[in-house]
Amino acid sequence: MKFSAQISQAIDHCLTDEIPFVAFAMPGEAEVCFRASLPDGQFRSPAFRDKESDSFFINFFDNDEPYTAGVSFDMTEEEVNNFHDPTYHARIFGDSIRPRVSSTFRASYHEAFSAVKPRLKKDGGKVVLSRLRSLFTKKTPRLIAEEYFALTDSTFRYLCFTPETGVWLGSTPEVLLESDRATGLIRTMSLAGTRPVDESGDWDEKNIREQAIVTDYICHTLRNAGLEVEIRPLTERRFLNIKHLCTPIDARGDVSIPELMSALSPTPAVAGYPRERAIGEIGRVETHRRHCYGGYVGVRIGGDYHAFVNLRCAFMAPVTLSGTKGWLGNLYAGGGIIAASQEDAEWLETESKTRVLASVFLGENGHEGEEGSRLTRSSVSFLSDLPPSGHDDGQPVNSAGI
What CATH number should be reported for the domain whose range is 5-93+139-272+289-313?
3.60.120.10
Beta bridge partners of 305: 300
358 contacts 170 by C-beta, under 8 angstroms: no
pLDDT score recorded for residue 227: 98
> What pLDDT sits at residue 398?
29
| Neighbour count for residue 237 (Cβ, 10 Å) | 18
Q: Are 112 and 128 in contact (CB under 8 A)?
A: no
Q: pLDDT tens for residues 302-354?
A: 999 999 999 999 999 999 988 889 999 999 999 999 999 999 999 999 999 99
pTM of the predicted model as reported, rounded to 2 decimal places: 0.91
What percent of the chain clears pLDDT 70, i.e. is strictly above it?
Answer: 90
Nearest to 166 by CA among 354, 364, 313: 313
b/e map of 280-291 (b: 16 or more CB within 10 Å)?
ebbeebbbbbbb
Longest dimension (CA), the chain: 62
Rounded to whole angstroms, the Cα distance separating 398 from 402 reads: 7
Q: Which portions of the chain are predicted below pLDDT 70?
A: 89-96, 364-375, 383-402
What ranges do the domains of the chain cover? 5-93+139-272+289-313
Is the previous residue joined to 387 through a cis bond, with omega within 30 degrees of 0? no
Using one digit for the tens of pLDDT, what is the confidence trace for 245-297?
A: 999 999 999 999 999 999 999 999 999 999 999 999 999 999 999 999 999 99
Cα–Cα distance between 310 and 70 in angstroms, integer?
14
Cα 180 to chain centroid distance, Å, stands at 24
pLDDT of amino acid 97: 82
